[in-house]
Structures are given as C-alpha cells and as structure tokens.
Chain A
C-alpha cells in the first residue's frame, strides 16, 4: 500500500455542512410514488405551448415581411382572377359587359373580329316603338348573334336579333349596347343611345303604392293591389317585377290587380313600376311571405346531371334523379331552358330537349316538395356548331370549362395551396430551421416533450396560421367572379380544408425528415427524404380514397370521375399511376385500381411508422 504523498486538510466546518448520516438511517418507509403518464390531452396542451412560442417568434421576425407578401399576393391574385373571369366570360359566349378578348371557337382559324354597327343615336317621345337595326354590321364570316342590352328602370333588358323593336315608355336616356358574335365566336361591341322625352307637358311622376305586406300559404293565389297609386293626370300602366324560385327567376306581372299562384315557399319582393300617360315613372313595392303549406320545413336539394357541351342538333338529356328531399317528398321537377330570348318550360325528373342552335343554353332546375319548399340549381349547356365534336376539344382550348363554380373551386384551391406554401411553409421552415441550426429544439426534449408532441406542434401551423392569410386572400381574389359572399366563403372553406390536408402532409413529411436528420447520420437519409415526398403525394391518395368511398356509398362513379377529370395533379399520384400499371401488368385491366390505391399507401404508412419509431429513439445519440 502506498501512503498518500501529500495530505490535504478538509475545509473548515463553518463553510460546509456535516457529512450526511449513513444511508441506512435514512431508510424510511416513504409513501408510494405515483408516476404520471401523459395522454393525448397533455400532448396537445404541450404542442399548443410550443406553437404559441413559435408564433410569437414568427410574429416578431416575420410580421412585416408577411404583410408585404400578403399585399403582393393579393394584388397578383386579384389581377389573375380578373383575367380569368374575363376568359370565362368569353368562353361561355356572353361578353355582356365589355369582354372583347380575341378568343375564338376551338378548332377555328378565324381570329378576325366582326364590326358592330348599332345605328345612330336618336330621340323619341314616350310610347314610341323604336327599331334597333344592326344590319350594317359586318364580318368576314357569318354573324350568328346580335345581342342588345340596356337598363330600364333598374332592370336589364336583353333583346336578340339583327333587328329588334322595343317600345320605350319611361322618360330618360338609354345607353344601348350591341354585341355581335360571328360563327367562330369572335365578338365585337358598340353603343348607341335612345333619349325618351315626355309626350306632353306633364312632367310630374306618379306615386306608386304596392299595398300592404301579405302572408299566404304556398299553392294559394295572390292578388296584388296597386289601386292606391296616384298621378296628377292618370296612371296608365302597372308593372310588377319580382324574382321567384328562391330569388333566382325573374317574373313580371301587369295590371292594377294581377293575380299569381305562389307555388314556392319564401319571400317575394315585388317592385311596382307605375307610369302615366306622359311616360313619367314612379316606383314602389311590397313584400309577400309565402309560408310552407305542409309540415315539411326543409327544402329539397336540386341536383342536375347534364352534358355541358354538345353539338347543334344533339338531344340534351336533363336528369334530376340525384335531387333529394329529407322526407323523400319531391312533388315537382320544373326545368327552364333559356336560349336567346326564349325560355321553354319542361317537367319531369328526367326530360330532354333538342339543341337547335349553337350557343349558350341556360338550364334552371327547380324541385318542389309537398309543402311548397323549393330547391334550385343552375347550369349551362354550350352548343357547338356542327362539325365540332365537343368530346375532342381539349380542356386547354376552353381552360376553365363552363361549370363556373367547380372550376372556381379548382382555381381557389390552387391559390390557397400556393399562398399556404409561401406563408405557412415559409414561416414553418423558418422556425424549424432556426431550431435545428441553433439546437434550441433540444431544450424542449429535456422537458416531457415527445417527438409526437413536436410534430403535432408543427402541424398546427397550417391549421391555424393558414386561414389568417388564406381567407382574406381568397375573398379578395374571388370578388371579381361576381359570386355571392356565401358561395365565396364556402368555396374558400373547402379549398382551405384541402390545403390543410396537403400542408399537414407536408409538415408531417418535414418532421420525419428532421427526425431522420437527428438520427445523426451526416445528411438526411434517402429513406427519410422518401417519407417526406411520399407523404406529400399521399395527399392525393386521400382524395382518391374519399372519391372511392363516396361512390361506393352513393352507388355512382361521379366522384372518381370528378377526381380524374379535374384533379390535373392526379397524374402525379404514384398510387394512381402505380396502381394502373400494376393492375394492367398483372391482370390486364385496371379494375383493381382501387385496391392498389389502398394497399400501396398502407404499406408505406405502416413501414414509415415502424421505421420512424426506430429513428425517434436515437435522436440524441451523438454529442
């Protein structure tokens, strides 16, 4: 034994406490230790705390740039939307308010616009029949449409034809627009004016009185009362304008006490226009509340299934069989088919009409239940000239088709995704990169933070941050499409949900990538990169699955068809394409497609989960 070479004195007693007593003396009987085990609720609370911490960091460092980016995107999207709305307006053949783009009919080589000539401006006295003549208009081909539009007493009047007649009663100046369209759908417009003056020295307008509000049951006859309208000379005309069928279909009644059978429950707002013999006009109105006549309070849902593009001479099938009522009590199916100045009415769950002329047919379906509740849907049929097969026209030739609402959804989804990627992805990446490079993420793991909590906290970005930017951007972008605010919000909501699914998949993939990186190989492994990309593409599979399930449930093929027709990115789906290839290779058909779309991602998800479990545990293996 070697003795110590140098002896060290212990420190003085007053500096340190005495050594602890022997452990055996401390061997007491302590109470039982109850360990805590975090459940889902604790995980979520902790994830929200991390999210809150991240947000404040982002708000501090990224708010100004986010606002600038928001303004930039809002401007870009608004311009894009305006351009798109103009394109759609042209494509559906209703230039209406100034669409004069140089578009042409698909497969046409004629890009020469016609020249519209509406004739000279003129001044007439009230009650004069005015002839509007566009026969001087010219084109290198044939002109097929002449559309005259003007406003009379806040009501838009449309007249169709090369030469039309209209009797102007109301005094005022009318700006008349003429649009001419040639057989290749090149168009041009011009304006003329009609000034209507009083037929006598009487220039005092009459006083319109539409009577008191009324309430009646659906199916009853309504009698309106305009008898209390007065004039200094004589009231000579009573015109009642209102919109029936859930405020969608404009109707007009004439006379001092006209009657109308109110078939549809809902409010009818009548505008009464009275005119005296000199052409002076007065306006008034009244409201009629049409109550359901039976106990069924819920209106039915109108659903129509039609072919939106046909050729001249084709029979257009109208199918409302997918309409439904919660009590199965649809009584009437009413179709209004509008083309130029004619509107024909058809009845029945399924019916048809012959598309005799090329151009746009506006289809309006109303379904009514036993109580008079009514549901409506509108659509359009584009009729191509003979010689053009609609089935061969590519989507690029009419880039946004004719189904405006659906294509808006597609368009908005794209915007939502883009803005999400820029905003959320940018912020997300910024925060995550910061944590990784600075190593601060390790701070959290010394607390009771699991990798799951960490991933969940990052997924909260797209869920909660995205709408802050996306909703205003969408509303700004969609206002030019002249949709109702309700429709805009609904479209935006659906797009937001789709975007969130995509972004969550991206966030999940990024987190897996991070976990792979922390495995402490020098670079992220190929496997972890693959997880990220596949989880992004896996989003498509979610849609595909959803379409499949909906079709199974509703016994249709429409959802899958919609997915394939409108989801251009479906071609990127390895599950779809892979499924097709495998099915074709193995059994010669693609009938097993849906099976593959389930099996392939399932294998990937299970494999990914198992693999990532291994990765998680080794996150801190290296100093």
Chain B
C-alpha cells in the first residue's frame, strides 16, 4: 500500500501536432497541499483535465491510481465518485439561483423528482459553516462578492465528499483579504485530511501555503520538492522558465515630463445604486514619460475611475479633467480615443478582443479610419501595420490571419496592446496588463511599457499584484473605497505601506 492518495504515472497526452504532456509523474500525499506550477501552456490544466475525466480514459497514455487502485475515468461524474473535486478559475455558479440551489445543483435530494429542500438547506448551513460563510442559504449568488462565491464553490465540492480538491488559479480574481481567507480555508481542509492540488501563478502564495511543489515545463515534470527554507521564489521561477531571471522587473529610470492628464474632484455615482458614490472626489495628475501605478483592493474603484474618465462607465459624473491643459469633454470611448486617451481593459477575453476575429482585424479595430478611404479599408495597409506590430511585440503566431481565440494569453494581450498602440495614445491606461499570463510574457510586456515611456507616452497601470506595482511604477496612487488614500514615490513605497493605505489607513 502506497502512502499516496493520488498517483499519476507516465501520463502522455497528445493533441494533433503537439505533445501536451510527456511522461508526467505527479503524486499527492494524503492531507497535503501540493502546488502545481508552470508557465501558461506548461500542461497544468491539461493534466488536471486528464485527472478529472474531461479527457476520458483511452485518450491519454499512463496510469491514474487513487489509494493505490487504478482508475479509468470516462467522465467528470466518475472522477467525482472517486472523490476528486475541482474549483475552476472561472466560477461555474448559476447567478440567479440561491446558495443551496447551487450547491445541490445536479445532485438534489429528491424522491420521484421532488426535491427535499429542507434537507438541502440544513446540509448547506453545515457546509457554509465549514468554509467560514455566515450567509443565509437562501441568498442569491448574484448578491455575493467574488470571494464568497468561491467559498460557495468549495462548499459545493465538499458536499460531494471529496478527498482531493483541485484549485485552478483560485486567487486570480480575489483581493488580498479574500485570498488570505481562502488560503486559511484551504489549510483547514488540509487539517481535515483533504489533499489539495493548488495551481497558481502567484508564487508568493505558493511558497506560503504549499507542502510540496511540482514544477511542469513544456509538458514535462521538471522537479518535485517539499517546500522549505531552501526553496525560494527565484528557485521556483528558474524551474518554470528554465533560465535564470536575474531581476523580475526591468526597472528603468524615467524622467517625468509635463502634466498630460489632470483630474479634479472626480465623482461618479453607482449606476445601479444612484445615491452611492463609487468614485468620491478623486484628484490626481499623470505626467508624460512616467508609469503611474494604481494600487488598491478589489472594489476600491480603480477600474471604475479609469472607465468613467474614458467615457465607458457611469451616468452621473461630477468634476472635470484636463488633457494637455485642455478641458476634456468626453461623451464616449470614441471621443477619448480621438484625444489620445486609451484604455486597455482588465478582462481581455470579455472586453478586449473579438475572439472570432483574426489578429489583424483586432489590431485595427479602434483605428480603421487610419487605413480606409472612400474605396474602403486598404487591406494591404492593414497587413503591413499588423506585420509591424507582430514583429515589434513578438506576437507568436503562424499567421496574422489566426483567430485570436487560438492564441495564448500573453499573445492575446500583445494583440490588445497593439490595438491601442495603433491608436497612437498620449495616455495609455493598462488595467491589469499581466493578469493570467506567464512570467516570460509578463517580462516582455514590461519592456514594451518601458519603450512607450521612452517615446513620451504617459502610462497609468492598474494592478492587483503589489510586486508588479512596486517593480514597475514611478509613482503610486493607492485607492480605497472610491477615494484616493495615498500618493507614493516608488522609492518610498513598500508592500506594507501600500496595504496600509489600501485598507483605509491614514
């Protein structure tokens, strides 16, 4: 009898033209938190899909053993029956249903099709207790914050008596508080003997929580070691990318020029709750040739602030702002773009790209006027400009006619960045520019930002990753509940300081 609850041995998974997994070995002990790390495309998700039965038995080679017994999962139901639960990056809850309905969706307590809700509610209360939620089971999921929704997902998994729980980037969308709370819950689950597989790009978290770390690279297991003193974030990164990254952030000295954006007393009311100010009297400036970092927790109003300036958010707005000392009267994104004020949205798949369009169509989407005349869009100019950006930003693709849905996250982000570069911005707002993309592509995006600064663009970067804010900004604004709480020079800023102001400290 082995002491592993889960053993995946010599897993090979081929897709047409690519070997996604090549002899991967992955073993999880009972009651441990086992982190699985690797760049995007390293094979983490594929491995988990093999494990959870999304890729049924027979479509891969190798063995899956649970408690020493070989398993042949035909579908997700089979893996659930074997005690495997998975919490996806994108939450899979039905928003308009309440907590109890969501938890027992698909496995209702029913006799002849009639659901016993009393039983479901009482069980739900117990499960919510386990994950530290005090919400009423009748609460609709739509009324919960994203952090609490995640806990409901976990409760749902627990309701199925899992022994192995997989977390796929669980904190990607969470603020620091919620992340902290989630890690706490995961530790609690561990103490109850549940083995957790933890997939994350946030290495600090991995370092903090994991007992064991397995690194995947290009579909192969690089190493597995227990987390200890000698394991550093740098060491993990080295394993992931296969090369020594001397510094994670390419800091360059910038000299800020004249003020290009001046915001005075900007107030925006919540479109849904008309008497609630979502942005409250914010004033700040952005200068030519500097990166202005905007830090804050989820819900601080950073995205709303920028979107409302851009003309894409809010109905009732007070205050004024100036672009190049000229009062800006922006009624919609078109006006903003014409003034050289561009906004790269935080969710590239939802708000940035038209996924079924190809690379060139996405890049030119915001500046079609530049390449068209009475005879229509000049396709040759379009190809020429696209080729230029594909080369300049090293977008990896077999063709510029590749649909953007087929690109990796980092390349997709570069396409959206190209779209805004083509619009020739004076002020470029980047909302979470490196979210969900791998270390190598992140680094390239920082370099692109530095190049733009050299060309005299003013960059405003919203980021939830404190090291990123600290590593790349020249000046840092901190927001809390719609108000600006601090302005710091990067030299005087630290994680602790930012967190202090972001949580409402004075």
Say if A and B assemble together. Answer: no
Interface residues of B (CB under 8 A from A): none
Q: Which residues of A contact B (CB under 8 A)?
A: none
